[in-house]
Amino acid sequence: MGTATGPQKKKKTIRMIPQARTPAHEQDPQVRARNFEEVNCGYLVEDAQLEAERCLMCPEQPCVSGCPVNIAIPDFIQRIVERDFRGAYDVITTSNLLPSVCGRVCPQENQCEGVCTVGESLEPVAIGRLERWVGDLAIREGWSNVPYIEPSGFRVGIVGSGPAGMACAADMAKAGCEVTVYEAFHEAGGVLKYGIPDFRLPNSIVDAEIRKLEQLGVRFECNTLVGRLFTIEQMVDEMGFHAVFIGTGAGYPSFSGIPGESLNGVLSANELLTRCNLMHGREFPNYDTPLQPGKHVVVIGAGNTAMDALRVCLRLGAEPVTCLYRRSRAEAPARAEEIHHAEEEGIRFHWLASPIEILDGPDKNVRGIRCVRMTLGEPDESGRRRPVPEPGSEFELEADMVVYAIGTNANPIIGQTSRLKLDRRGYIATDENLATSIPGVYAGGDIVTGAATVIEAMGAGRRAARSMKAWLGLRDTDHIYQERPDGAVATLFGIERAEHGYARVRLPR
Amino acid sequence: MTTDRPATGYEIVARQDFSDVTFLLEVRHPMLAKAARAGQFVIVMASAHGERIPLTIADYDRDRGTITLVIQAVGKTTREMQRDLKVGDQLVALVGPMGIPSHIGKARKVLCVGGGLGVAPVFPQARAWKESGAYVIGVLGFRNKDLVFWDDKFAACCDELIVCTDDGSAGIKGLVTEGMRQAIARHPDIEECVAIGPPIMMKGCAEATRPHRIKTMVSLNPVMVDGTGMCGGCRVKIGEVVKFACVDGPDFDGHLVDFDDLMFRLQRYRETEQQASRRFDENCRMRTIPGDAGGAA
């Protein structure tokens, strides 16, 4: 089907496309619950082509505006249909340098796939899986789009090497700036490295994407705690940075303040995940960082971090692993696929239940957790229905480890060490262009908005990059000159006239 | 999986062994030496498979571009460092300075108390107080004469120095609290006290000054991973409030700290720590070094 080629393509209708969504190959739940290999093994080329056929190429393209970084989604899918896989990669990398990461971790159901026209009558096109397939193919084939970049002479400093910093770094490097990214940990990648576990996003993929940034000329400086080793003001005044972007993330985990939180065995999901992922605690004693996993683990919260914590504990051998969430499954903030995978693997869910006390056993270790059932009342300011405790519904769960995954607060370091204006919750205050109160200093991601998603942080990094380019007086490289397929119309000194005003960028083929 | 770029290490330029458990490393990091202030700490990773351990900065030399760390070989990581690290070697990771610098206020007479390994981190504070023009009384506690170190450095920046040993083999016999008692008796006008050492010692110091209403700052050493506020492993109870020692501290008002909570939380990884230590002993057939498995410095 869909054999029409050339300029007069037949308009596809919903009846012409493959009706069912192409399933991704997944590890069996029983097997994967005991290993750290990737759960979703992705598409094969024939799967990708079949799924690509499901895109209607509708003129409205709601998916493009649904994407925080506005990838030209139908364009890249069309290239897959045409078997121009390299072309598909080029289209994606025009707006997103990290397709392998985003294809895995974006909440597509609330973004591109949530507004897909096909989704009105069938399951939406699996845009995320296609994006991931293209990104992985590029890594395997060693493709990278390293343009010849005309140096602009500007130096840009980026604080934090997570998704916001990486996206901003990519855009600024493409604009010819000399970019240095500072990271406090000993490895770059931020939450992609320490937070998201290997079975969802292998660290090798993150490293491959970081290498692409290095090919663009971005320098990563690890073991650098900005604020304390040098301040934001020093970066601007003494270190010669013409612009600075702060993407440090929220990074100060919340606890709920119920009795028993200082018992041994109570920890934040951040701590659990960092010990397991970045510090390789699961390979103790070959790696020195201990993890001491529990047997009966309770995780509080139902976001992506909670799902990661639950599934990490399961893989470390805990049984049972229980999720407590004060609202119902419908309000859970995690990606639909993650909750689905967690359920398949045997995670127990206590929806509509909230902890009220962590119980201590001998030696100040956790023995259990007392909870109360909730019912949903009127919607609160977030639009979600507010949970209300049900009187007399208390119950206890046995637990020797309790993990908090209920969000984060603003990390105080940058605020403590600079005169940047903060908002009343301690996050960095910015205007709509993500400019902070210090000229030339921009901020974005969780340190501005509070905890959000990887792609939202990347979107913020790109938005800040646009503002920084405007502030530095650089041409906006988001808009890329495309050679006309029908050849140059008018030239001047051998340069197409329409090309006038574009930076000369040479893409190696 | 680590990135395959060449490791940018931090060179060890000097090493000094004070005893069979305590040793000093001087590490080159000019930027860190320039930024460091009294009371701050660093996080060190000695090898690529190693753990991140917090160590209080014992000294910094801005001209030489180095910082000094004093380490007690108590757990697997610190013992491995003691065995392996020599001048010219590189630390895989060294990040800092972390934490809020100690507040050197307007007090005119200050008591600086260091116990055991805590002697090292209290030194920059004693020096900073001296530089602020205060009258500084140093009280240093060791188990015995052989473990005494840096008494000469303290003598140079303290107006009075009291050395205490558990067995009386050097200075006065008794714990640091005995030295403090004598100092407070002689100087009723002490305005502030700084105490650094094992939690049990700091608890004792806080109790020693409480009846005299002397403001007492202690430096806490809970278990940490990142040191940037991200993991929350280092949370400590200060009065009714929970604080993160890495970014809200490490200095806190000793009269408000819940030391029992801190001591329990330091036990959290005792089991795995012992397992690692045993494995280390078996692997290198090294003699066992006495000492407990608390957090590093």
Q: What confidence tens digit (pLDDT) does each residue in A397-425 have?
A: 999 999 999 988 888 898 889 999 998 88
Which residues are CB-contacts of A177 (< 8 A; sequence separation ≥ 6)?
Answer: A152, A154, A155, A156, A242, A243, A472, A474
Mean pLDDT across A375-383: 83
Angle between helices A127-141 and A45-52 (to 10 degrees): 140
Beta-carbon pairs below 8 A across chains A and B? 147
Give the closest residue to A307 by CA, choosing from A349, A276, A279, A267. A349
Among chain B residues, CA nearest to A208? B3
The answer to whether A290 contacts B272, with C-beta atoms less than 8 Å apart, is yes
Q: Is B273 on the interface with A (CB under 8 A)?
A: yes
Give the closest residue to B95 by CA, choosing from B50, B45, B25. B45
The answer to whether A228 contacts B40, with C-beta atoms less than 8 Å apart, is yes
* Angstrom distance (rounded) from CA A445 to CA A425: 15
pLDDT for position A494: 59
The answer to whether A186 contacts B31, with C-beta atoms less than 8 Å apart, is no
Mean residue pLDDT across chain A: 85
User: In this structure, how many other beta carbons lie within 10 angstroms of the beta carbon of residue A59?
Assistant: 8
Residues in B 178-217 with any Cβ partner in A closer than 8 A: none
Kindly report which listed range (A53-67, B161-175, B259-273) carries the lowest average pLDDT score. Answer: B259-273
| Two structure tokens written together for A292 | 């001491």
φ, ψ (nearest 5 deg) of residue A25: -75, 130
The answer to whether A413 contacts B248, with C-beta atoms less than 8 Å apart, is no
Radius of gyration, alpha carbons of chain A: 24
- Using alpha carbons, list the distances in angstroms from residue A295 to A13, A322, B53, B265: 53, 11, 27, 19
The answer to whether B265 contacts A204, with C-beta atoms less than 8 Å apart, is no
Q: Is B84 on the interface with A (CB under 8 A)?
A: no
* Angstrom distance (rounded) from CA A47 to CA A322: 35
For residue B209, the one-letter residue type is: T
* Angstrom distance (rounded) from CA B49 to CA B206: 38
Residue to substitute from B42, B230, B261, interface A, most A β-carbons within 10 A = B230
Question: How far away is chain A from the Cα of B238, in angstroms, using its nearest Cα?
Answer: 12
Query: Taking CB atoms and an 8 Å cutoff, what residues of chain B touch A229?
Result: 31-32, 35, 95-97
Confidence category of residue B34, pLDDT binned at 50, 70, 90: very high
Residue A428 DSSP symbol = B
CA A161 to chain CA centroid, nearest Å = 12
Q: Is B276 on the interface with A (CB under 8 A)?
A: yes
Mean pLDDT across B98-118: 89
Dump pLDDT digits (tens) for A138-156: 888 888 766 667 788 889 9
**Strands B22-28, B66-72: pairing kind:** antiparallel
Kindly report which listed range (A275-279, A361-365, B161-165, B175-179) carries the lowest average pLDDT score. Answer: A361-365
Q: C-alpha dihedral over A206, A211, A214, A215, to 10 degrees?
A: -140
| Two structure tokens written together for B143 | 């188990």
Among chain A residues, CA nearest to B40? A228
Question: How far away is chain B from the Cα of A186, in angstroms, using its nearest Cα?
Answer: 6
Q: Is B41 on the interface with A (CB under 8 A)?
A: no
Give the closest residue to A508 by CA, choosing from A216, A239, A258, A233. A216
For residue B20, the one-letter residue type is: D
Query: Would you say B55 and B20 are in contact if contact means Cβ atoms under 8 Å apart?
Result: no
Question: How far away is chain B from the Cα of A482, in angstroms, using its nearest Cα?
Answer: 35
Could you identify the residue written with the tokens 């045993």? B278
Query: Taking CB atoms and an 8 Å cutoff, what residues of chain B touch A404?
Result: 232
| Two structure tokens written together for A111 | 């973004």
Mean pLDDT across B195-218: 91
What SS3 state is found at A76? helix
Mean pLDDT across A478-482: 56
Confidence category of residue A481, pLDDT binned at 50, 70, 90: low
Q: State the distance between the two ends of chain B, measured CA to CA, in whole angstroms.
A: 29
Tell me which residue in A210, A252, A255 faces B3 most closely, judged by beta carbons.
A210
Kindly report which listed range (A99-108, B109-118, B133-142, B225-234) carries the lowest average pLDDT score. Answer: A99-108
* Angstrom distance (rounded) from CA B137 to CA B64: 28
